[in-house]
Amino acid sequence: MEEREIAFLTVPFGPQHPASGHFHALLKVDGETVLELEPHPGYLHRGFEKLMEYRVHPQNCVLVDRADVLDPFSCELGYANAIEKIAGLEIPERGRYIRTIMAELGRILSHITWIGVLSMVLGFDSANKIAWGDREKILRLNEIATGGRLYPCYLCIGGVRRDISREFVDETSKALDYLEGQLSFYDYFVFKNETFVMRMEKVGRMSAKEAIDLGATGPNLRACGIDYDVRKDEPYEVYPKVEFNVITREEGDAYARSLCRRDEIAESISIVRQLLKNLPDGPYRVELGPGCITLEGESYFCLESARGEKCFHVVSDGSPCPYRVKIRAPSFLHTLSEFPYLARGSTIADIPAIYWSLDSCPADMDR
C-alpha cells in the first residue's frame, strides 16, 4: 500500500517570542493547519520545591510568591494555610478578613493582566495598553498595604504582617469604583468587539467530559458547564460568610472562557466590597513566640487561585525546614495536556488565542 507523504514545516513557538510568555513548543504545520503540538516545558524551572527544603518557614513564606508571578497572593495563602493546618493555629478574624480581601484583589489583578496579554497576542494593541494602565490601580493598592508592588511578602504564618490603614480602605473603594467603570468599557470595546468575537468564538472547544479527563480546573472547567469552585465546595478563610455566584457557561470555547473571567472580575469586586463593609476590629496576627517554628505532620490544602485549583502538600518532620513541599500548579495541566489536545487541527493563527484563553502562567507551570 502506498503512503502519501505530507510535507510539513516545523515552526517554533517561543520561548523568545512576543506571544508565548516563556514557554517553548514545536508546531508541526501543513500550510496553515497545525498537525501536532509538542510542548517543551522547563524554561523557567528554578527547582522551587527543592529549594524550599533548605529554608525555614518564615523565609519560605516571603519567597513562595515567586511560584506564580501573576497571582502571588494565592501562593502565600496556600503555604501559610498548609503550615497552620499542621500546627493547628487559629487565626484572628481580622487577619482572615484581610487575607481574603488581598486574595480577591490578586484575582482581579491576574484577570486584568490576562485581558492585556490576550489582547496583545490577538493584535489588539489598544486593549493591551489600556489594561496595563488599569493594573496600576491595584498595584498601587498593593503598595499601600504591603510595601511592594508585585511581590507582596504580606501573608505570613499566623496572619498578616502589618495592619491595613484607613488610607487603604479609602483607596480600595475608589479603585473598585474605577474598575467597575472600566468593566463596562471592556464590555463594549473588547468582549463585544466584532474582531475579538471572530477570533475567539468556536475556537478551542472542550466538552465537559474532555475537560474533566484533561484535568482542567478554574474558569477553563467552569466554561464547559461544570459547577466546581473550591471557594464554594471546600471553603477556606472567610468565604462561607460572603455571598457570590459561581460563573459557568455552556459552550466551552475560548470566548466562553473569556466571558467567565470577565464575570469573575465583577464577582470579586462585589466580594471585596462586602468584606470591607464587615471588617472587624481586633488583632491581625497570632504571636508565635521566639525561636524557630518546628512542626511535625503533613497537610494538604486546596485553594482557588485565578488560574484554577492550587494545592499545597507540606510534609514536616520536626526540623525548622519542611521535609517536602509539593505545589499542584493549575497551569501545568492546562499547558501540557489541554493545550496540545486543543491545538490539533487548528490553524497557526488560533494557537496564541487558545494558549492565552487557557490562562497559563509559565512561572506557575515550571516552578
Partner 1 sequence: MRKMGYLSDKFSRTFTPFGIVKNLFRKPMTLQFPYESLPPVEGYRGRHVLDLDKCNGCCICCMICPNKAIGLVDFRGRKYPQVNLGKCCFCQLCEEYCNVKAITLSKEAMMVTMDKESAILGPEALSKLPTQ
Partner 2 sequence: MSIFYLIVFPGFISLFLFSLLCEYIDRKVTARLQSRVGPPFYQPWADFIKLISKESLVPTMADRKRFTAIPIFGIAAVVTAFIYIPLWSTKSPFPFTGDIVVVIYLLSLPTLLLFLAGWHSTNVFGTIGATRGITQLFGYEVPFLLALLSPALVTGIWSLSGILNYQVEHTWFIAYLPLSFIVAIISLGGKLERIPFDIPHAAQEIAGGPFTEYSGARLALMHLMLDMELFAGSALIAALFLGGFDYIGVMPGLAGSVVGFVVFLIKTLIVLFILICIKAAFARIKIDQVINMSLKWLAPMALIQLLITVGLKFAGVL
Would you count residue 345 as binding partner 2 (CB under 8 A)? no
Nearest approach, Cβ of residue 225 and partner 2 (Å): 27
Cα distances (angstroms) measured from residue 123 to each of 250, 257, 333, 349:
27, 19, 26, 11
SS3 168: helix
* C-alpha cell recorded at residue 323: 521535609
- Choosing among partner 1, partner 2, none, which partner's interface includes residue 144 (Cβ < 5 to 8 Å by kind)? partner 1
- Choosing among partner 1, partner 2, none, which partner's interface includes residue 151 (Cβ < 5 to 8 Å by kind)? partner 1
Cα distances (angstroms) measured from residue 250 to each of 66, 74, 152, 254, 256:
34, 27, 36, 12, 8
Nearest approach, Cβ of residue 177 and partner 1 (Å): 16
- Choosing among partner 2, partner 1, none, which partner's interface includes residue 192 (Cβ < 5 to 8 Å by kind)? partner 1
Residue 348 in contact with residue 27, Cβ under 8 Å?
yes
Among positions 211-250, residues that touch partner 2 (CB under 8 A) are: none
* C-alpha cell recorded at residue 94: 481580622
Nearest approach, Cβ of residue 75 and partner 2 (Å): 28
Residue 264 in contact with residue 111, Cβ under 8 Å?
yes
Q: Residues binding partner 2: what is the number (CB under 8 A)? A: 34
In angstroms, the CA 75 to CA 120 distance is: 26
Identify the H or E element spanning 198: helix 194-200
Pick the closer one to partner 2 by CB: 121 or 216: 121
Nearest approach, Cβ of residue 88 and partner 1 (Å): 23
CA 108 to chain centre: 10
Pick the closer one to partner 1 by CB: 132 or 244: 132
Would you count residue 122 as binding partner 2 (CB under 8 A)? yes
Would you count residue 196 as binding partner 2 (CB under 8 A)? yes
Pick the closer one to partner 1 by CB: 5 or 194: 194
Binding mask 129-148 for partner 2 (x = CB under 8 A): xx--x---------------
The cell 511578602 sits on which residue? Answer: 153
In angstroms, the CA 137 to CA 341 distance is: 37
Would you count residue 207 as binding partner 2 (CB under 8 A)? no
Would you count residue 165 as binding partner 2 (CB under 8 A)? no
The DSSP-derived string for 95-134 is HHHHHHHHHHHHHHHHHHHHHHHHHHHTT-HHHHHHHHHH
Cis amide linkage into residue 320, ω under 30° from 0: no
Pick the closer one to partner 2 by CB: 19 or 89: 19
The site for partner 1 (CB under 8 A) is made up of 55, 58-60, 62-63, 126, 133, 136, 140, 143-144, 147-148, 151, 153, 161-162, 188-189, 192-194, 197
Pick the closer one to partner 2 by CB: 29 or 265: 29
- Choosing among partner 1, partner 2, none, which partner's interface includes residue 175 (Cβ < 5 to 8 Å by kind)? none
- Choosing among partner 2, partner 1, none, which partner's interface includes residue 246 (Cβ < 5 to 8 Å by kind)? none
- Choosing among partner 2, partner 1, none, which partner's interface includes residue 282 (Cβ < 5 to 8 Å by kind)? none
Q: What angle do CA 151, 156, 160 make, to 5 degrees?
A: 90
- Choosing among partner 2, partner 1, none, which partner's interface includes residue 80 (Cβ < 5 to 8 Å by kind)? none
| Phi and psi based region of residue 97 (left: phi greater than 0; alpha: psi -120 to 50; beta: remaining) | alpha
SS3 285: strand
Question: How do beta strands 155-156 and 33-40 pair?
Answer: unpaired
Per CB under 8 A, residues contacting partner 2 are 9-12, 17-19, 29, 32, 119-127, 129-130, 133, 189, 193-196, 198-199, 347-352
